[in-house]
Copies of this chain bind each other. A is one copy, B any other.
């Protein structure tokens, strides 16, 4: 990936402001696995209650996690991923596959598969014009519409 301009912003900042914390990403991993309840999350992650509570609240406030009551008196919630949360799937897959390639010694502990046929998933970065997978060294970048608009205004 080579950038043509160093000074424009990118959405990685926005993403990391919301989920750029190890515990948050591990909680999301567990939610994808189907872990739903506070006590299960706490045990599975070995996380302190106050930290878990804080991260779940932030994920809820960001619209990534939905709370659904499963018990009243006292009220207890299950935690589910919203559409926005489910949309983090490619990010978690990419992070997992990198760990598989560099830390699993050729033997990934878990394999993600296509549910209907059990084939291991592949992830690729693609150019629809050339119809080829694009290597990291063949990636460039340019300012998006906001910046393009800004430059047009400046040029007038």
The interface of chain A, by Cβ under 8 A from chain B, is: 1-3, 6-18, 20-22, 25-26, 29-30, 32-35, 40, 44, 84, 86-104, 107-119, 121-130, 134, 136-147
Asked if A84 contacts B102 (CB within 8 A), the reply is yes
CB atoms of A124 and B126 under 8 A apart? yes
Determine how many copies of this chain the complex contains.
2
CA distance A14 to B6 in the complex (A): 30
A104 to B14, CA, bound (A): 9
Q: Is the CB of B9 within 8 A of A110?
A: yes
Candidate in A30, A114, A142 with the most chain B CB atoms within 10 angstroms: A114
Q: Given A107-B144, A126-B121, A130-B116: A94 and B101 within 8 A (CB)?
A: no
Q: Do residues A1 and B112 form an inter-chain contact, with CB atoms below 8 A? A: yes
Contact B86 A9 (CB under 8 A): no
Minimum CB distance partner of A126 in chain B = B122
